[in-house]
Amino acid sequence: MTAVEINGRDLAQEIKDEMKVEVEELNRKGIYPKLTVVLVGDDPASKSYVKGKKKASAETGIESELIELPVSTTETELLSLLNGLNNDNSIHGILVQLPLPDHINEQKVIETISPKKDVDGFHPINIGHMMTGNDTFLPCTPHGIITMLKSRNLQIESKHAVVIGRSNIVGKPVGQLLLNENATVTYCHSKTKNLQHYTKQADILIVAVGRPNVINQTHLKEGAIVIDVGVNRLEDGSLTGDVDFDSAKEIASYITPVPRGVGPMTITMLLKNTIKAAKGMTR
């Protein structure tokens, strides 16, 4: 079997085209969705992610503003800036790019952003709504993954989904969203013994480790759906995922490539959340 590739870039483009029309409709009603991104310091990877967010916003007609702060910014200064953004009615979505410098408490920052403007879906209130299956801002990468599966009408209900990785941004929430879709979910992580024992049972395998070649065809059940969340930069500057793509595609039924896989979907879901915020659709 050679797996069908789920191209996230093409799907993201389709969704962005639909959102552009939606934004135009909102504009006619006098609503101009706006996203403010805050970047502290000059980490090259973060800068590149932020640039991608700005470009995608522009393509969809969403206004975006980038606030770049020096690495010396204090926690108090950042929290006070966020309080100002919370109270600015022209701003619908606020995103603080992570990771933050060590002297700033990330959790404090996440909890300072108003849950109504939390387009990352990281605020504990929004995490709570996600866990109970209520409508809220869903975290972008997990939401992008579910959207990719649904775009191909792939059944999630009653399937065994195995998630490798337990980060707050991807692993934990994607497992929760799969559970909300009635999958049976197993989490694996760095302390899991005999990883292959679990991956071999996966109908849907989500790989979010952050290391190349963690998974190859020897880990897979015939016909498994493989979602590769990894973005690893190799020494030659090229990007690769966590999965050995050429090996896994021989066994999998569907697989996501890197690049052009989950990455573009993450940004698209961020824009979706910004439109949702502009419509005032959250509790």
Among residues 120, 228, 242, 244, the one annotated as catalytic is 120
Candidate list 39, 145, 161, 169; residue touching ligand GUN; CB under 6 A: 169
Nearest to 202 by CA among 148, 152, 164: 164
Q: Which residues contact 25 (CB under 8 A, 6 or more apart)?
A: none
Q: Which is nearer to ligand GUN, 31 or 239 (CB)?
A: 239
Q: Which residues contact 21 (CB under 8 A, 6 or more apart)?
A: none
Total residues contacting ligand GUN (rule CB under 6 A)?
7
Catalytic, 120? Answer yes
Catalytic, 53? Answer yes
Binding piece for ligand GUN, criterion CB under 6 A, among 60-68, 93-101, 216-224, 243-251: 93-101
Q: Which is nearer to ligand GUN, 21 or 71 (CB)?
A: 71
Catalytic, 13? Answer no
State how far the alpha carbon of 65 is from the alpha carbons of 37, 68, 88, in Å: 6, 10, 13
The residues in 99-128 that bind ligand GUN, with binding defined as CB under 6 A, are 120
For CA atoms 252, 174, 279, 91, the dihedral sign is negative
Using a 10 angstrom Cβ sphere, with 0-12 exposed, 13-18 middle and 19 or more buried, the burial of residue 87 is: exposed
The Cα–Cα gap between 204 and 255 comes to 10
Q: Which is nearer to ligand GUN, 141 or 253 (CB)?
A: 141
Structure tokens at 212: 């190349």
Candidate list 31, 67, 69, 98; residue touching ligand GUN; CB under 6 A: 98
Check residue 248 for interaction with ligand GUN (CB under 6 A): no
Q: Which residues are annotated as a binding site for NADP(+)?
A: 165-167, 231
Check residue 62 for interaction with ligand GUN (CB under 6 A): no
Check residue 95 for interaction with ligand GUN (CB under 6 A): yes
Q: Annotated catalytic sites, by residue? A: 53, 97, 120
